[in-house]
Structure 1
């Protein structure tokens, strides 16, 4: 199905969507759109909504599979992420939703052997309805060969340099079991990243509910769903391995001429493995063994 506009998607009945979990892929450009969509399909998402401007599309073979809908919209406009996600939340209460951008790849513990349906079933059995995701920056090892910093075959990541800080509300009250997480390229090149964009945590996988809304800072208006763990034990978390920041730093006029290499002494070859991410402490299996 191709929706000619976001308004057409909003007006469409959700009866034809089937059961979830659902994934939203927001294509800001044409880079690695196909690989991102294929990745979420391989994880076991039942349906994928690709939000893309005119000129960004998928092969007829992928569309013919019947699991991908395309929503035509200008994705560089402010607030697009919140608009699209909140529309889908209202349409599919009780279903699980994941959202990401092109060039981002979701990993959860043991995802090579277990699908997303098994993961969210476990989380619900733990009486939780959200999974906190950490955005782990990926970057090509050679910016001469890959000027936009995107290379699946030579992807690298930071193996350390991640930290957390206390999160407070507008009244300066410490929020229980919530932290702001930092690291990666946003930390090492923070002079090129606006302060509100430096956090790497995102509630990137959650169960839709009536009245639930995604906010501008990638948190939800249900504070318990923004927590990294439940009160009684560690909870499963996930990682979004992403070329988005590296690509932006190499595209934006203010930074592209100042950065000639993203590698440093703590760079590691990305193995496209959930085990690597768990060993580095970048996601938590919780009680799921």
Structure 2
């Protein structure tokens, strides 16, 4: 199903959004669009909404399985327009949002579906799941100038840290932290301070009055927490080439980066166990 605009989609797609979980994929360019959509379909999302300009062509085996929405995913208001629009249109449904060349991994995702994970989270009375954005990058930038390669993907195995988050009254926010690391930490001189965090609550349950803000946090504080009050909660990872792409595309940073590899780089194994072993996601009480 294809919609000619985001407005048309939000006005007519309530029936399509009645069955979740829902994945919103914002297609900023055509890089690895097909692999991104295929990954989320295979994860078990019942609805995958692909938002991007009409020039982006989807593979024949994928196009019939997704809802296509023609809209500029590079718009400054994309989070407000698309994600908050879906929140309003699909109350009660679990929603995930990501960009192309970003791949959701959660504990045991090789043998369990995203629906099973979200059912467990619902039983734990959690309405949101923290996801860490784990930067991926090609090991050989000569062979892969845009820093994207599924076969030569690498990640940082260390260098991640968290700082206490303060609220608008300058008090420490309960069970909220600002997380840092990856390429945004190593090349921070090329990344504006508001964009250096790697925490993103990209899995959440839509409800009336909920709003996603431009810094990837929500207007309801409990949605921004990393755990419930009584024990550690499950978290996930969003393995993403997006920062590497931007650093290679940006004329201010590209000339200064000959490689992203360093002594703490490791080949990405495309398996949840590697992320669990590195402490980049947490199974909580889910075994």
Per the TM alignment, residue 240 of structure 1 is displaced from its structure 2 partner at its CA by 0.2
Per the TM alignment, residue 13 of structure 1 is displaced from its structure 2 partner at its CA by 4.2
* Contact kept in structure 2, 1:26 and 1:81, CA below 8 Å: no
Residue number in structure 1 paired with 2:171: 173
Residue number in structure 2 paired with 1:114: 112
Per the TM alignment, residue 80 of structure 1 is displaced from its structure 2 partner at its CA by 0.6
Residue number in structure 2 paired with 1:229: 227
Counterparts of 2:204 and 2:24, CA distance in 1: 12
Residue number in structure 2 paired with 1:55: 55
Counterparts of 2:207 and 2:117, CA distance in 1: 19
* Contact kept in structure 2, 1:92 and 1:208, CA below 8 Å: yes
Counterparts of 1:93 and 1:166, CA distance in 2: 31
Counterparts of 2:93 and 2:4, CA distance in 1: 24
Unaligned runs of 5+ in 1: none
Of 266, 269, 277, which residue of structure 1 is paired with 2:267? 269
| 1:243 equivalenced with 2:241 (yes/no) | yes
Residue number in structure 1 paired with 2:85: 87
* Contact kept in structure 1, 2:37 and 2:62, CA below 8 Å: no
Counterparts of 1:91 and 1:81, CA distance in 2: 14
SS of the residue corresponding to residue 201 of structure 2 reads strand
SS of the residue corresponding to residue 246 of structure 1 reads helix
Query: Cα deviation per residue 1:233-281 (whole Å; 9 max; x = unaligned)?
Result: 0000000000000000000100111100000000011000111001100
Of 205, 208, 229, which residue of structure 2 is paired with 1:207? 205
Per the TM alignment, residue 76 of structure 1 is displaced from its structure 2 partner at its CA by 1.2
Residue number in structure 2 paired with 1:197: 195
Counterparts of 2:57 and 2:223, CA distance in 1: 33
Residue number in structure 1 paired with 2:12: 12
Q: TM-score, normalised by structure 1?
A: 0.98
| 1:219 equivalenced with 2:217 (yes/no) | yes
Counterparts of 1:153 and 1:174, CA distance in 2: 42
Counterparts of 1:79 and 1:13, CA distance in 2: 20
Unaligned runs of 5+ in 2: none
* Contact kept in structure 1, 2:18 and 2:93, CA below 8 Å: no
Per the TM alignment, residue 212 of structure 1 is displaced from its structure 2 partner at its CA by 0.7
Per the TM alignment, residue 18 of structure 1 is displaced from its structure 2 partner at its CA by 3.9
Residue number in structure 2 paired with 1:32: 32
* Contact kept in structure 2, 1:24 and 1:49, CA below 8 Å: yes
Per the TM alignment, residue 62 of structure 1 is displaced from its structure 2 partner at its CA by 1.6
Per the TM alignment, residue 81 of structure 1 is displaced from its structure 2 partner at its CA by 2.1
Counterparts of 1:104 and 1:161, CA distance in 2: 20
Of 125, 133, 136, which residue of structure 2 is paired with 1:135? 133
* Contact kept in structure 1, 2:16 and 2:47, CA below 8 Å: no
SS of the residue corresponding to residue 177 of structure 1 reads strand
Q: How many residues align?
A: 287
Query: Cα deviation per residue 1:9-32 (whole Å; 9 max; x = unaligned)?
Result: 222140233410000000100000
Q: TM-score, normalised by structure 2?
A: 0.98
Counterparts of 1:59 and 1:257, CA distance in 2: 33
* Contact kept in structure 2, 1:25 and 1:51, CA below 8 Å: yes
Per the TM alignment, residue 171 of structure 1 is displaced from its structure 2 partner at its CA by 1.3
